[in-house]
Amino acid sequence: MAEIDAIIRSIVREELSRLQPGSERPELVTIKEFIERHPAISREACDNLVHGAPDNDFPAVRLSERVVLIDVSRFKAWAAKGGNMKKDERPARLRAA
């Protein structure tokens, strides 16, 4: 199973790097790993962000119904741009982003 997981992560990293030329190499982690790294984000909040990913630009990659990975590199950029806030709710210094 670990070998399959490694192959899937490799394929997803490759595809994501093609979509974002010049960006950092994607660092994909499971939701559990993400929550461990970011204890201020609860499991429930993370699940809500992942569920709303198409609309809120949260950097989640859904590989199947049960397998979701989060790109930590894109998460940092997402959070720096105001995260889940709508553009008009962001502080003025972030609105252009």
In tens, the pLDDT along 5-35 reads: 888 888 877 776 666 555 567 889 999 999 9
pLDDT of 94 over the 90 cut: no
pLDDT value for 21: 53
Mean pLDDT, range 43-52, rounded to an integer:
92
Query: Per-residue pLDDT for 81 more than 80?
Result: yes
Choosing among 2.60.40, 1.20.120, 1.10.10, 1.10.3470, the CATH entry for 2-82 is 1.10.10
> DSSP states of the chain as a string?
-HHHHHHHHHHHHHHHHHHSTTSPPP-EEEHHHHHHH-TTS-HHHHHHHHHTHHHH---EEE-SSS-EEEEHHHHHHHHHTTTTS-GGGS-HHHHT-
Distance in angstroms (rounded) separating the CA atoms of residues 17 and 6: 16
Q: Work out the average pLDDT over 61-67.
A: 86
pTM of the predicted model over 0.85? no
Structure tokens at 59: 């950097």
Tokens of 68: 């979701």
Task: Tell me what pLDDT residue 86 has.
Answer: 57
Q: Tell me, what's the pLDDT at 31?
A: 94
